[in-house]
Structure 1
Amino acid sequence: MKTTIFGVVAAAGIAALSLGIATQSFAHHSFASEFDVARPVEVQGRVTKVRFVNPHAWLFVDVRNPNGTTTNWGFEFGSPSVLAAKDISRTDVPIGSTVHIAGFRSKNTGPFGYAQEVDLPGGRKVQVGSAPDAPTLRRGRGQ
């Protein structure tokens, strides 16, 4: 009797765990749900904040506008583990350094985007986006 109850509880626990894992993977957003493929963006700015957190790293930069004002942009990168596999860490983008970011604007029309590629201080170019449904970026298409 105890063995049967233990088996039922163990099976229920495994099923619940499996359902939780499946739910988490389905709950993760796609590129197309948050970002606009028709609105590529390229900015150059000074790094103000670096967040290497799951599920995505974020980089915030102050970008000088044509009228002289400054806008703080936030860009979503891939996960910290994806970035580590590409040999990029938070120390590669120190606060105050200047970076060039190419990607796509968010659908919410705010100063947010998906970074597909970043030119790091020192000239190294790194692909930082990891969304499997993100399109290939053609640089030079503006803000």
Structure 2
Amino acid sequence: MVPRLDGRRLFPGRRVGRAGRLKLVLFAVLFALLIAAQPAMAHHSFAAEFDSGQPIAAAGAVTRVDWTNPHAYLYIDVKDDSGKTVGWRFEMGSPNSLLRCGWSRGSVKPGDKVTVNGYRAKDSSHSGYTVRVESSDGRTLYSRPGE
């Protein structure tokens, strides 16, 4: 006998009522949601991308601000030790969390001089995670509530 849900016989010799079928379907849905959530949890792992042992303070001019979900990004041009200009990309919190921290779309604009304090990316690229941004006019903006 082949197990089937529609004929009330899931297991040979045992009848499964409506409550039993509902429990089975609920279990299957919950299991599928649990499996589907794994990539999202990996995406939100700070330790997978950034090195908390490598703090950075990068000063430069803002070139672009991407106010997008799930993370906003701040791009700045930084002069390295040899005087060469290097573009850096800093990840921030979501636009919603930035709004709760006092940011607005116009908080920093291209051309503004800022210092970004945060952590370097593990892949040694010119990128990092923003903890706070200090503007040349003395304002300090944080990337996440509670920082």
TM-score (norm 2): 0.72
Say if 2:124 is the partner of 1:109: yes
Instruction: Summarize deviations over 1:4-43 as a string: whole Å, max 9, x none.
Output: 8xx97x969x759945873464242311111112211101
Aligned to 1:139: none
* 2:66 pairs with one of 44, 51, 56: 51
Aligned to 1:94: 109
Structure 1 runs of 4+ aligned residues shifted over 6 Å read none
For 1:23 and 1:93, the matched residues in 2 are separated by 35
For 1:42 and 1:48, the matched residues in 2 are separated by 17
Aligned to 1:34: 49
* 1:118 pairs with one of 119, 127, 133: 133
Instruction: Summarize deviations over 1:65-91 as a string: whole Å, max 9, x none.
Output: 221110000001111110011120221
Offset of residue 127 of structure 1: 1.6
For 2:39 and 2:105, the matched residues in 1 are separated by 26
Segments of structure 2 that go 5 or more residues without pairing to the other structure are 1-5, 7-17
For 2:101 and 2:32, the matched residues in 1 are separated by 31
Cα 1:105–1:18 change in 2 (3 A) is: same
Classify the secondary structure of the residue corresponding to 2:106: helix
Instruction: Summarize deviations over 1:70-117 as a string: whole Å, max 9, x none.
Output: 000000111111001112022111111111111110000011001111
- Answer whether contact 1:46 1:63 (CA < 8 A) is retained: yes
Cα 1:19–1:37 change in 2 (3 A) is: closer
- Answer whether contact 2:102 2:141 (CA < 8 A) is retained: no
- RMSD after superposition: 2.8
Say if 2:96 is the partner of 1:81: yes
Would you say how many aligned residue pairs link Structure 1 and Structure 2? 127
For 1:62 and 1:90, the matched residues in 2 are separated by 20
Higher relative contact order (CA 8 A, sep 6+): 1
Q: Which moved more, 1:15-24 or 1:74-83?
A: 15-24
Aligned to 1:140: none
Classify the secondary structure of the residue corresponding to 2:124: coil
